Structure 1
């Protein structure tokens, strides 16, 4: 199978898992604080991905320096992004969190310019369409809580860290073993979250064990599996901006999951938002030399 399609498929599956796992992030904080939840889930993610490493048979040519640097950078940005999101969820709505977080689809190409990442016209069009689709999906019909609050600011700050996380993965995933990179980033995030949790929260083992379902779901499925798929997917996709667009479909899958599992009704504007986002992904696949190739073919004919 084409490596490009394989990479995009991995990212699509990642967005599906993230979209369906959003409830676990909210319910997981019923008995424990946001940093205690992050430390617990990432500890479980670390153990899960470490088990995957033990089953790897292919020869690894990764340089230890690149792995340590990449793992530390990814772990720090993952910690900052997830922490801002978890804290923000205490003060703002799920819909606004979904929209504001996914603004990384705009931030990734903008920040990428500083790293000399080229973005073609079709990709910018896709980013615009994706933003419109996200707004229709996540902010449609919002009345209560429409004013900006401190939760929104936390989530918005987190979107910068998510964008940085995507760009860092884009840089290191071509150099190091993706499974080991994933494991190391979770280990770093676990340590950072645990330090903060023990400093400002009062986590207890009974409360952590009582939240085991949410922690297990977020730690194994949304964490260990999905984040590892993200790294593997970005290793084979063309650029970070396309990856961010595909990952932003978590909002679409979250809405679909709510419709199927929770029997939530989707408004016409929300359905339109889903359609526009899928169109944005298709537009992003158009190569930059599309019109030149069509012109050449017409001349040959």
Structure 2
């Protein structure tokens, strides 16, 4: 897979996640967040597990203990991001949630430098700022005073940043994207269901009422999109992946307007253009730099 193809895969994952914001929001009228996230990733685990087992049979060597522990670490980061985002959606809008979740576009390169001493291509920094500005414009250039849901979504963005970095790091070192996906889904599901048993009542009627949302985010937004993420990240860097995945804010805002009646302000359309420009910069500038380098060395 080429880097351009990988980036298109990541863009598709972002579009699917954008639609997931709507399903996640409407589900909170029917079911508690821990049961929702637990069932969501339980379904995703079952959907990906057969493919992960096929991947294991074709692998040259079994997954090591360190590899399994690394996958569990990704699952813990996924749990932190998924549950804080879901609880946040109880008291914030789809547009605000998608905007604030997009803060991981800034967290990823900062965490990469601090924790891994990995310095990305210089274009990542201005592109990250540009993407963040574009996401900000999607909200109309202003946000109401922060609610509890907004604050939780900022925490969620930090966890997503960690998850993106760890997923990219460990999928490259193990070459087992489907095993990573199945393991992180299972860890997140088990933790949420275990907590949900103690703090949220078991209500089969609520599960039935939210079944469409659970199936969408379980099979499509989780099972498919997260697999696309880890596959795409095998062929690109974490900061570049973060820029592309941040376009979920664009899709979330547009679908929130179309399906939930949340209005996209005039500045929002400018934000779409700015975000698209940031993605083009991330895509084109490194490629042009490499071509010039090859020509100068030829």
Q: What's the TM-score once normalised by structure 2's chain length? A: 0.91
With 187-196 and 265-274 compared, the bigger mean Cα shift is at 265-274
SS at match of 1:121: coil
Cα distance, 1:289 vs. partner? Answer: 8.0
Alpha-carbon shift at residue 254 of structure 1 (Å): 2.4
Q: Which runs of no fewer than 5 residues in structure 2 stay unpaired?
A: none
Please say if 1:174 is aligned against 2:172.
yes
CA–CA separation in structure 1 for the residues paired with 2:238 and 2:290: 23
What is the match of residue 213 of structure 1? Answer: 212
Per-residue displacement from partner, 1:144-198 (whole Å, max 9, x unpaired)? xx01122111111111111000111111011221001100111111110011111
Query: Paired residue for 2:83?
Result: 83
Tell me what 1:109 maps to.
109
Alpha-carbon distance between aligned partners in 1 of 2:290 and 2:51, rounded to the nearest angstrom: 44
Residue 34 (structure 1) aligns with: 33
Check 1:257–1:97 CA distance in 2 against 1; reply closer, same or farther (3 A cut). closer
- Give the alignment's TM-score, normalised by structure 1: 0.90
Instruction: Indicate how the Cα distance of structure 1 residues 294 and 165 shifts in structure 2: closer, same or farther if over 3 A, else same.
Output: closer
Higher helix proportion (structure 1 or 2): 2
CA contact (8 A) 1:125 1:283 kept: no
Q: Which moved more, 1:191-200 or 1:87-96?
A: 87-96
Please tell me whether the aligned partners of residues 74 and 168 of structure 1 are also in contact (alpha carbons under 8 angstroms).
yes
Deviation (angstroms), 1:54? 4.4
Aligned partner of 2:150 in structure 1 is 152
Measured in 1, the distance between the counterparts of 2:34 and 2:225 equals: 20
Distance apart, 1:263 and its partner CA: 7.6
Once the two structures are TM-superposed, the CA of residue 208 in structure 1 deviates from its matched residue by 1.0
Distance 1:94 1:263 in 2: 11
Q: Distance in 1 between matches of 2:254 and 2:91?
A: 24
Aligned equivalents of 1:246 and 1:34: distance in 2?
Answer: 27
Q: CA distance change for structure 1 residues 12 and 60 in 2, over 3 Å: closer, same or farther?
A: farther
Question: Aligned ranges for residues 1-301 of structure 1 at < 5 Å?
Answer: 2-56=1-55, 58-61=58-61, 63-114=63-114, 115-137=116-138, 139-140=139-140, 146-176=144-174, 177-237=176-236, 239-258=237-256, 266-285=264-283, 286-287=285-286, 290=289, 293=292
Shift of residue 243 of structure 1? 0.3
Which whole-Å CA distance do the structure 1 matches of 2:213 and 2:256 have between them?
Answer: 17
- CA-based RMSD of the aligned residues comes to 2.5
Structure 1's 67 and 294: CA in aligned 2 closer, same or farther, altered over 3 A? closer
Shift >4 Å, 4+ stretches: 54-57, 258-266, 294-297
How many residues matched? 294
What runs of 5+ residues in structure 1 fail to find an aligned partner? none
Check conservation: 1:169, 1:231, Cα contact below 8 A.
Answer: yes
Greater CA drift, 160-169 or 116-125: 116-125
Tell me whether 180-189 or 281-290 shows the greater mean CA deviation: 281-290
